[in-house]
Amino acid sequence: MKKSIALFSLLMAIGHFTIGQTDTINHWKKGFETGLGVTQVSLTNWAAGGDNSLAGNVFLNLTANYAKGKHIWDNNGQFVFGLIKNGEQSLRKTDDKIDFQSKYGYKAYGKWYYSALAGFKTQFANGFDYKVSDSSAVSRFLAPAYLLFGLGMDYKPSENFSLFISPVTGRLTIVNDESLADAGAYGVTKAEYDTEGKLLKHGASTLMEFGASVMVNYKATLMENISMETRIQLFTDYLKNPQNIDIDWRVLLVLKVNKYISANLSTNLIYDDNVKVVDKDGNAGPRTQFKEVFGVGFNYKI
């Protein structure tokens, strides 16, 4: 967590900064964007009650896209980290993401491309279910992590829209933490014990799935100073409960107040049939997960 806090502090010092560069000679279009949103509350003798708080969220987006002749190659990396401190509570994580994707296409006909996709997702720091405990982590770096490989067709009529259909997709879930693997977290096979509770075999650290996937990327300018980006990924496992489709749907809405200030609203809806969530009654099972983050921050664009 200390390393993550240091990274968070460094990115906060950067503010919001965007660079876009097109190399017409080598056919590359590159982008770099980073920014922060901060919320602070300070109360002194406040009769209505409340608590002091400080929260911040930082992000870094990197893109490198190649297009020449029949070849296209799109690469994207996203890094997000958020922290909050309420009153006397310790620092707590509110957002955490590492996400890489690389997609290569060779033109088939019209706007369709034969394509291959590779993706990797994990997080920086330990995660906790604070309703249960602030000392027992429910997630860590590389626990979980997801590797995805897909072969299929990509429909790309413009830079702002793409539809990737992959009937041949492999997804590897990694749980690189012994205690989480033993508990069978994120769908891996849990540890085996004898009747007296003695450990016979540790839980598996990986889960391999084979199925089909669909991914849609879309960007649009809704009106002056308001833009939107969305990505939805669907995956079904041919070998286990193919009727249960995993969903990862992200939306980012950016509202530019002026040249130096912007507001961001991001949402993330997830359903993963392998992830068991415990409800208020203590029942565990796959459930729809939803996250929303809103922030106002400084920005500067070149």
**What is the mean pLDDT of the segment spanning 154-165?**
95
Lowest mean pLDDT among 31-40, 166-175, 184-193: 31-40
Tell me: pLDDT of 289 over 60: yes
Express each pLDDT in 260-281 by its tens digit: 677 888 899 999 999 888 777 7
Work out the burial of residue 40: count CB atoms within 10 Å of its CB; fewer than 13 is exposed, 13-18 middle, 19 or more buried: exposed
Strands 261-271 and 289-298, sheet pairing:
antiparallel
Reported as a pLDDT band with limits 50, 70 and 90, residue 208 is very high
For residue 56, pLDDT over 80 is answered with yes
> What is the pLDDT averaged over residues 227-243?
94
Task: Please state, in angstroms and rounded to a whole number, the distance separating the CA atoms of residues 129 and 188.
Answer: 20
pLDDT at residue 184, as a whole number: 93
pLDDT score recorded for residue 119: 96
Predicted confidence band at 127 (pLDDT cuts at 50, 70, 90)? very high
Beta carbons within 8 Å of 282's beta carbon, 6+ residues apart? none
Predicted confidence (pLDDT) per residue in 98-114, tens digit? 999 999 999 999 999 99
**pLDDT for res 34:** 77
If you average pLDDT over every residue of the chain, what do you get? 86
**If pLDDT is split at 50, 70 and 90, which confidence band does 57 have?**
confident
Phi-psi region of 143 (alpha: psi -120 to 50; beta: other; left: phi over 0): beta
State the pTM of this model: 0.86
Q: Residue 238's closest CA among 259, 208, 201? A: 208
Domains of the chain, residue spans: 65-72+87-301
